[in-house]
Amino acid sequence: MPQNGTSRRTFLKAGTALTLLAAGGLSGLVRPARAETPCVSQTRALMGTFVTVSVAHESRNFAQDAVGRAFEHMQELIPVFNRFDTASPLSVLNDQRVLRGAPPELTQLLEQAREYHALTGGTFNPAVKPVLDLMAETARRNPDVPLNKEELRQRLALVDLDALRSNARSLVLERQGMGLTLDGLAKGRIVDAASETLRSLGAHDHLVDAGGDIRVSGGRTARRPWVVAVQNPKGGEYPDVIRLRDGAVATSGAYEVWFGDNRLAHHIVDPRTGRSPRTLSSATVRAASVAEADALSTALFVASPRQGLALIDSLPGVEALLLSAQGSRLASRGWDRLHS
């Protein structure tokens, strides 16, 4: 397991200004409610982080019920994708290499993973689990020792998403020792599902924030959009604040989870080299869904800044902000439009 880790996404603060939410203030920022429209917010510990669901609605009872239903749906999906739960379908697939009767939620998310893998030229690759396992094993043996080159070469040979086969409701990993991680996609999909539940109930003005994986719809009021602040990896003032009425934001960064106290490796892996990228300190993506923002922010963190931003500029409705390890700021062509 990664050591000295924070929640996977703690780099975005969500809400409508700078007042801390309940539960330690780890999940977002909101303005005190005005008399216009009641806003019900509830925070729970889920998925290794704090998850906040906020619904703005004229009926407080309706909003409270909608928030509860959103949490129920998230709790139904979490056991499907958790690779650290030995009983989860994903863990069974990784352990036995065959999963019959695969839940449609898992099959669909793996198909999405294939699409993002192709879209990003392979910089997003959920088949990096063998390398992540090597990093964890090395840190347990001796955290001051870098990865063994021969062991790394052997694990990289297993990073092969094409060796995942699916038909009907069965999934097969064709190579002994390979494995999948949906850490860069599953939490976003679960947040998207919560947002979809809220919309289906008629709670059109809402925000779901899972430790910085953020999905919004509508606004805090008819006149006020939801506001998201991007934190500085090194502390201090926010590098940027954006306003959203519909869509999602997610950030990937080296600050999130480290293997060992010496910080030789972190949880984001370049699937081509098996090494943890060092060029950026964070990559933030605005997209239509959190799953898409998750996958693309991971890919951006791995790719060169020029290649990454070229990809983002080619995708309609997608924007990105990159913060380099040296502190410089690089943004996609339309990022500044998110300020209004």
Q: Which residues are annotated as a binding site for Mg(2+)?
A: 184, 294, 298
**Residues in binding site:** 184, 294, 298
Q: Token pair of 136, please?
A: 């964890």
- Picking from 278, 330, 319, 327, the residue whose alpha carbon sits closest to that of residue 301 is 278
Residues 6+ positions from 267 with CB-CB distance below 8 Å: 2, 5, 8, 132, 183, 256, 257, 258, 259, 276
- Picking from 46, 48, 100, 98, the residue whose alpha carbon sits closest to that of residue 72 is 46
Residues 339/241, Cβ–Cβ less than 8 Å: yes
- Picking from 250, 189, 226, 243, the residue whose alpha carbon sits closest to that of residue 54 is 226
Residues 29/43, Cβ–Cβ less than 8 Å: no
Q: Write the burial class of residue 333 (CB in 10 Å: 0-12 exposed, 13-18 middle, 19+ buried).
A: exposed
